[in-house]
Amino acid sequence: MTLKTIPEIKGKPIIGNIAEFADDPTVTLLDMARKHGDIVQFRMFGNKFILISNPDYIREVLVSKVDLFPKADRDIELLSRFLGKGLLSSSGDLHRHQRKLAQPAFHMRRINAYADTMTNYAASLRDQWQPGETHDMSEEMMTLTMFIVAKTLFDADKDQMTGLAQTVGEAVGSIQTITDAEFNLPLVIPEWMPTRNNRERKQARKVLYETIDMMIAARRETAVSGQIEDTGDLLSMLLLSQDEDGNFMPDHQVRDELVTLFVAGHETTSNALTWTWYLLAEHPAVEAKLHAELDRVLNGRLPTLADLNELTYTEMVIKEALRLYPPAWSLSGRQATTDTSIGDYFVAQNSIVFISPFVMHRLPQYFSDPEAFIPERFTPEQEAALPRYTYLPFGGGPRVCIGNSFALMEARLILATLAQRYRFRLAPDQVVARNPQITLSPKYGMHMRLEARETAVTEPHIPETAVPTP
């Protein structure tokens, strides 16, 4: 069979189509998919890029030909400067080995044990707020989820939590700002060059690694006869993980996985929740339906793990927010290791394939009225009818997000806890715009005014620890 040539969008000499991505790449990619169909090619500085927006093609790249389309070298290089060789920044045999070792930490039995921690931290933050106040919900959600992930990773006590979360959070924030900027550059700047970004990243990474290494060493010091105690946190689970030959994960790899989980475990969920508050403020009928479910199921008490099966509309709201504003708006590029094909199209070696959940989620052939916020799309029947790989907020295939169950449970519990007591309304001067960096965040924050709801809290809350307000 003769393979077809991928349609190509013509660009300017040398720079190709890079100017079209200067403002908001989500707009550019969505426009490409709507105008040119399931597969289209473009160039930037001589490199070939392919955007695919057909679920069969996505399955081919992420599943059936996954070894022919590993993560792009450029993405691996930039992410590893940030995350070491954790799950997000490794590939091939190392990724498969690490994934197998880390997977038990994310079994549902362990994930479910974190439900009360998530609710307690959300309630602690809620109890610090007062009606009429205005808060940047982007910052509030970032702080809240950072404290939750620090607790579930390290099981730190109350005296440790504030210092640990803030030290790690500041270092991560510094490195992430640099990494976001580097992803926007056409070329990768070598780490050995004496640039300001390289110096600042080196210093922040030193603080980050020393802090995590200290936590690992402290846990080993408490071991009895060399045996690590399973304290229920992810650190102990990773230290106890063994491969089929009985080998434990080395400490430097444990550190890289902890850094990866810290970053992935709070930024994505905080962005998802921030966009959810915005969508609810813009759609009061949906908000009213959510509040009705919370009042009926919870009757003023805090949500528990057992309530989640009854909070069906709450789950639909989260899933629809993830459709419109997926934090992982573009999966890491997949780079063809050899001349190959996608569908019946020829793909040249080293071509980089783009898969954008943001684009897929807004295509009318898969989601009717795709720009509308309609949680009812995610009734069990409607969700089951969706073709595979049209809805992929957590990616897909063997690299699907290992913490997706953690994130969904956390988002539902936080949404239920905070929406029980408050309505959130956009501040009058708030400008809402997308900021598609590594994750999809609001460009100017999300300042919102708190309005009290007429609902009784029948169960007093004694906070496990206070969550500092940003």
Q: What is the Cα–Cα distance from 364 to 254, expressed in whole angstroms?
A: 43
Asked if residue 78 is part of any domain, the answer here is yes
Residue 309, in any domain of the structure: no
20, part of any domain: yes
pLDDT in tens, 314-363: 999 999 999 999 999 999 899 999 999 999 999 999 999 999 999 999 99
pLDDT band at 229 (very low <50, low <70, confident <90, very high): confident
Task: Spell 223-256 as b/e; 16+ CB within 10 A means b.
Answer: eeeeebeeeebbbbbbbbbeeeeeeebeeebbbb
CA distance 48 to 203: 35
How many residues can be counted in the chain?
A: 470
Output the CA angle 337-342-348, nearest 5 degrees. 40
What confidence tens digit (pLDDT) does each residue in 238-297 have? 888 888 888 888 899 999 999 898 888 888 999 999 999 999 999 999 999 999 999 999
Report whether 118 contacts 302 (CB < 8 A): no
Q: Is residue 54 in a domain?
A: yes
**How far is Cα 71 from Cα 332, in angstroms, rounded to an integer?**
6
Q: Is 34 a member of any domain?
A: yes
Structure tokens at 35: 């105008």
How far is Cα 467 from Cα 123, in angstroms, rounded to an integer? 9
- Predicted confidence band at 91 (pLDDT cuts at 50, 70, 90)? confident
- Alpha-carbon dihedral of residues 350, 351, 352, 353, nearest 10 degrees? -130
Of 105, 271, 272, residue with least CA distance to 176: 271
What would the mean pLDDT of 171-181 be, rounded to a whole number?
86
Alpha helices in 283-395 (DSSP H): 284-298, 312-324, 357-360, 380-385
Residue 19 CB: number of other CB atoms within 10 A?
12
Look at residue 388 and tell me whether its pLDDT is greater than 70.
yes
Q: Which residues of 282-309 are buried (b: 16+ CB within 10 A; e: fewer)?
A: ebeebbebbbebbeebbeeebbebebbe
Helices (H), 53-195: 55-59, 73-83, 92-102, 108-112, 115-128, 137-154, 158-183
pLDDT higher than 90, residue 44: no
Q: What is the DSSP letter of 90?
A: -
Average pLDDT over residues 59-66: 97
Helix, strand, or coil (residue 440): strand
Q: Quick one: what percent of the chain has pLDDT higher than 70?
A: 94
Tokens standing for 63? 């599943």
As beta bridge partners, residue 16 has 12
3-state secondary structure of 407: helix
DSSP state of 249: P
Quick one: pLDDT at residue 349? 97
Q: How many domains does the chain have?
A: 1
What pLDDT score was predicted for residue 463? 53
Rounded CA separation 91/72 (Å): 10
- Classify residue 369 as exposed, middle or buried by CB count within 10 Å of its CB (0-12, 13-18, 19+): exposed
Q: List beta partners, residue 227.
A: 224
- pLDDT of 165 strictly over 80: no
| Domain carrying residue 364 | 1-84+329-370
Contact yes or no for 65/394 (Cβ under 8 A) = no
CATH of the domain at 13: 3.30.43.20
Q: Classify residue 89: in a domain, yes or no.
A: no
* Cβ proximity of 349 and 337 under 8 Å: yes
Q: What's the whole-model pTM score?
A: 0.93
In this prediction, residue 464 carries a pLDDT of 54
Specify whether the CB–CB gap between 39 and 50 falls below 8 A.
yes
Given the DSSP bridges, would you call strands 340-342 and 422-426 parallel, antiparallel or unpaired? unpaired
User: 114-117, long-range: CB within 8 Å, 24+ apart, which pairs?
Assistant: 114/148, 114/152, 114/406, 114/409, 114/410, 115/304, 115/305, 115/409, 115/413, 116/304, 116/305, 117/148, 117/151, 117/152, 117/464
- Banded pLDDT at 82 (limits 50, 70, 90): confident
Q: Does residue 156 lie in a domain region?
A: no
Please report whether residue 67 resides in a domain.
yes
Cα angle, residue 421 at apex, residues 420 and 424 outer, rounded to 5°: 100
159 pLDDT band, cuts 50/70/90, is low
Angle between helices 404-421 and 284-298 (to 10 degrees): 90
